[in-house]
Amino acid sequence: MTTRMTTDTQGATARSAGEQDTVARDEKTGDAVAEDTGVRGERAEDAVARDAEARGEKAEDATAERSRRVLRALEDDHASVRLRAALEIGSRPHPDHVDALVERCAVEPEFPVREMLTWALTRLPADATVPRLVDEVRSERTQARRQALHTLSKVGDREAWSVITRELLADPDDEVARNAWRAAVVLVPEGEERELAAALATQLGRGGRETRLSLSRVLIALGEVIVPVLDGMAGHPDPGVREHALATERLLRHPDEVFEFTLHEARRAVALSDLGRAGE
């Protein structure tokens, strides 16, 4: 019996040792598998990262190529191509396009294309466009000044107010002056409307129908502050100035009237007034 117990004990001890060896082997195998899995995971992550980087580079290359293509299209001989290019730039605005858009505005001969260029510029942040447009207002090129002022009136950022000077409001080119008037009434800081009205009033009587109508509309947009300024023109020696001032004030009171009728009535009133003074 003692012998059998001894044998059993030895067998149990052997089994225990064998189980321990098995556990140890399993642990080593598990460690190896985990290590191998980790390596494969790292490799997979590296591959994904490389693939993403490659895709990013391809996307950047595609974006750069699209930008080059659309900027080339702005110089195309066909207005329809230039129009589509400006539309595409405005649909995907990027500050890198500001200079090209502004430069094209200065030379673009077709009105619809110029309007699309202006629209594209308004889609960009004002801090990217306004400084460039302000510089362009000071350009010696007439169309550059016209279009820059027109665009500033659409952007509406009052940071550009400093570029609106009396000299600019009296620019000898009617189109530059008209665009300056429109920009001024949009950009004028609060509280400076009366001073602007006085500066604009110096242009009363200027130009033909379209120029006079533009000035009247701009003055009316300033509101009641223009009334004392217009009244002050009653004694002006130029009858054309007096007529324009009277017509503008009448339009302020009767905005639905046709400008030609208003101007005709103002002309008649000035003529009667001059006749009365002549008979005195």
**pLDDT for 234 beyond 90:** no
CA-to-CA dists, residue 247 to 95, 195, 198, 202, angstroms: 44, 21, 17, 15
> What is the pLDDT, as a whole number, of residue 2?
43
> What is the pLDDT, as a whole number, of residue 213?
96
One-letter amino acid at 205 equals G
CA angle 225, 228, 230 (to 5 degrees): 100
> What is the pLDDT, as a whole number, of residue 187?
98
Backbone φ and ψ for 235, nearest 5 degrees, come out as -100, 15
**pLDDT for 12 beyond 60:** no
Using one digit for the tens of pLDDT, what is the confidence trace for 37-87?
554 555 555 555 555 554 555 656 667 788 889 999 999 999 999 999 999
What region does 78 belong to: left with phi over 0, alpha with psi -120 to 50, or beta? beta
For the whole model, what pTM was predicted?
Answer: 0.75
Least Cα distance to 151 among 202, 103, 220, 212 occurs for 103
**pLDDT for 158 beyond 90:** yes
Answer whether 108's CB lies under 8 Å from 77's CB. no
Using one digit for the tens of pLDDT, what is the confidence trace for 38-52?
545 555 555 555 555
How confident is residue 3, by pLDDT bands cut at 50, 70 and 90?
very low
